[in-house]
């Protein structure tokens, strides 16, 4: 049984059909990336998986059962920071526990442990504006992971970071993921990032009515270093193979824009 399954999902915004006939199965513990040209519906599909957006047609199954309303197993990390500027790093991370009624002292103790896991143990009292972009991402990641989601939905989480910080964060994500292998659905424009991180890369067609047109297993060994893995012949072979398909869709999207 798939952990998460899209079954013939379509989403229309008024008369515009963004995605149509999307069927996709993600196994428990699998790291799957969605790549595709701009506007093809990647974020739309993540929103459907999060239960934030009901499909116009078709359905999403979570552990075999139709998803109704918000996805209770999912944690969502967006491109923009979702952390609160008036709270410290520690209290931002503690927030999901406080919402659940965990007492303040316990929530802060657990948040402290999560800050340490993402390498911020020395900065619990800093406010977001006193942190770098990469550090804010770490706070965001800890804030999502502290809630213990079984499914991680990530929408271009590192795209605003400079390349070195981005690679550090990608390695950090892989390290945390190796610990307990959550199921991950990761959206990115960046094919290299998708290959470096994933077990599988799914290519979406240019919109309208986008759907998966390619599904590529990534049999690269783990643990991986995202900077080093990019230099291996197997990585380059996979990149060429997937780009052969993706290139046409990117050109179609630009021609239609």
By the criterion CB under 6 A, which residues form the site for ligand ATP?
13, 16, 18, 36, 38-44, 189, 207
Beta strands in the chain (DSSP E): 4-13, 16-26, 31-35, 57-62, 65-66, 74-77, 151-155, 183-187, 200-204, 212-217
Q: Least distance from C-beta 13 to ligand ATP, angstroms?
A: 3
Comparison of 51 and 128: residue with beta carbon closer to ligand ATP: 51
* Residue nearer to ligand ATP on the CB measure, 18 or 111: 18
User: What are the beta bridge partners of residue 60?
Assistant: 6
- CB of residue 44 to ligand ATP, shortest distance in Å: 3
Which residue lies nearer to ligand ATP by CB, 98 or 209? 209
In whole angstroms, the minimum distance from the beta carbon of 79 to ligand ATP comes to: 8
| CA 23 – CA 9 distance, rounded (Å) | 7
Tokens of 161: 């970071």
Minimal distance in Å, beta carbon 110 to ligand ATP? Answer: 33
CA distance 243 to 35: 10
Nearer to ligand ATP, 40 or 74 (CB): 40
Nearest CA-CA partner of 115 in 163, 176, 182, 165: 176
């Amino acid at each position: 049984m798939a952990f998460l399954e899209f079954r013939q999902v379509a989403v229309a915004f008024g008369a515009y059909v963004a995605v149509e006939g999307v069927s996709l199965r993600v196994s428990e513990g699998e790291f799957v990336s969605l790549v595709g040209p701009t506007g093809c519906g990647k974020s739309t599909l993540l929103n459907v998986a999060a239960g934030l957006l009901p499909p116009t047609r078709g359905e999403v199954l979570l552990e075999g059962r139709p998803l109704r309303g918000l996805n209770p197993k999912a944690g969502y990390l967006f491109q923009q920071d979702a952390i609160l500027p008036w709270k410290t790093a520690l209290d931002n991370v503690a927030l999901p526990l406080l919402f659940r009624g965990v007492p303040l002292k316990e929530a802060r103790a657990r948040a402290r442990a999560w800050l340490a896991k993402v390498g911020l143990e020395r900065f619990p009292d800093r406010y977001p504006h006193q942190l770098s972009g990469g550090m804010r991402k770490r706070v965001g990641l800890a804030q999502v992971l502290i809630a213990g989601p079984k499914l991680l939905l990530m929408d271009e989480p590192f795209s605003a970071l400079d390349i070195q910080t981005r690679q550090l964060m990608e390695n950090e994500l892989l390290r945390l993921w190796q610990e307990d292998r959550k199921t991950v659905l990761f959206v990115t424009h960046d094919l290299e990032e998708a290959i470096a991180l994933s077990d599988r890369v799914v290519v979406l067609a240019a919109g309208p009515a986008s759907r998966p047109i390619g599904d590529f297993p990534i049999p690269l060994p783990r643990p991986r270093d995202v900077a080093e893995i990019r230099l291996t012949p197997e990585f380059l072979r996979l990149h060429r193979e997937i780009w052969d398909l993706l290139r046409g869709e990117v050109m179609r999207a630009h021609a239609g824009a």
